[in-house]
Amino acid sequence: MRTQVAIVGGGPAGLLLSHLLHRQGVASVVLESRDRAYVERRQRAGMLEQGTTDVLRESGAGERLDREGLVHHGIELRFGGEGHRIPITDLTGRTVTVYAQTEIVKDLAALRLADGGDVRYEAEVLAVDPSTGTVTFRQDGAAHELTADYIAGCDGFHGVSRRAVPDVRTFARDYPFAWLGVLADVAPSTDELIYAHHERGFALHSLRSPSVSRLYLQVAPDEDLAAWSDARIWDELAVRFGTPDGWELTPGPITDRSVTPMRSFVAEPMRHDRLFLAGDSAHIVPPTGAKGLNLAVSDVTILARALTERYASGSEALLDAYSATCLSRVWRAEHFSYWMTTLLHADPESDAFARRLQRAHLEYVAGSAPAMASLAENYAGLPLK
């Protein structure tokens, strides 16, 4: 089998890349190891930068996003029992939108199949060869080979693509805490996201829809999920979000819960020969800055543009610049995510001096117009160059 671009991974990055290429007349085959139902129900964050929503709309994948997405113009930092609003739109002219990653995957999968796209589920990729453009995969109990001009590795942190890059350099940091995330069938108690710093640990109140809430608690990396009953979760959230002005958190039935470790990771370079890494296969960010999905979208947008130029004019200049172009944006997002994480979490390894410094920094961010503007600019997302 042959195609122009072989895409390893059928999550949002792989599907969006295939969709963007299709719109420019470039053929692709998407290979996804899981079945479609599994991919479409994987729970992931869904805070979209302005640039991400622009890409989805311009590609024709924004109809349901515009109808169901929750547009936000600010966020709240809460500490010391007080809330401090960061007016993102006033400071940047941009917005952020809450729209679940599961819904993005559903939208893109439906578009690809409606367009006759070749998306192969339950196709386990065994190996990729960057020098020949060959992808070996197993489907229906048989081994197959797909040969392409180029390969896009969109198969996540544990996929095979990154392992095919020789002499890859990796940079990583593990954090001494994790997130206990819950999905609850209850209307959100807030109109905008609340990022709460508390001596007992960080908490985040997010929204999934007008009737579904997404909430997070800082816990230990080895936390026993079974030790957290619904009542304990709601009680702890109420403590960490607590204010003396009468604000109340409304509890409801919890339908999903999980513990997510916190890690920063970057692999360099993001290209070797015919293979290009994109999304989680090349970088991981702690979720505090809401950058993971947005970085994946920027990666494949840059890659689609480079591949389109290659097939339109024969020029490989944008392909040659791909890794450097992406990494510049990746490292900026890594720093912002690290900064937000260390600003808001209670570090069990910190001493009293470090905790006082952290509080002083929070007060500075909440009280300084330039500091708020910097947070807002990075949170809403830097323009895609």
State yes or no: is 379 an active-site residue.
yes
Annotated catalytic residue: which of 12, 251, 286, 287? 287
Q: How far apart are CA 53 and CA 42, in angstroms?
A: 20
Annotated catalytic residue: which of 72, 198, 272, 283? 72
State yes or no: is 175 an active-site residue.
no
Annotated catalytic residue: which of 19, 73, 283, 291? 291
State yes or no: is 72 an active-site residue.
yes
Annotated catalytic residue: which of 195, 251, 283, 322? 195
Q: Which are the catalytic amino acids?
A: 72, 195, 287, 291, 379
